[in-house]
Amino acid sequence: MKVSRPRIVAAGLTHCCPNCGGHTLFIPGTLFQLNQQCPDCGLPFERDEGFFLGSMSLNYGVTIFAFLIPVLLLYLADVLSGTAAAILAGAGAIIFPILFYRSSRSWWLMSYYFFLPQHLPANRTEPASSEDENN
């Protein structure tokens, strides 16, 4: 493979294209607009309609585990009052997913290509006559 799994992870953690490593995942000057494909290598970032539903689930899960559960634990340990915990949880449930949006998109691409690196154009080989492109 030309693109190794460690390189895919590094690209995902730095919001880069998993195929060429270019900083092309998002449209320059925008916070939330994803390029349809990499301007450098042409890798389509959205493979199918609904592909990024996984990134929404990832964002939701990270929000729960990294933010809301710690707030709950601080409340249960009597570090935060009920009112403070409710305000913090409410504000965090809105603000944290917005701040984590770019990472969740990038991490979703990273996880997809980590498990299926052969789907990257740089790693493609011609399938044998008895195989399809998913093997």
Task: State residue 52's pLDDT score.
Answer: 81
pLDDT at 134 over 90: no
Task: State residue 24's pLDDT score.
Answer: 87
At 39 the three-state DSSP class reads coil
Give the C-alpha distances (Å, rounded to integers) separating 111 from 5, 20, 40, 83, 129: 10, 16, 21, 38, 29
What's the pTM value of the predicted model, to 2 decimals?
0.80
The residues spanned by each domain of the chain are 5-122
pLDDT higher at 132 or 71: 71
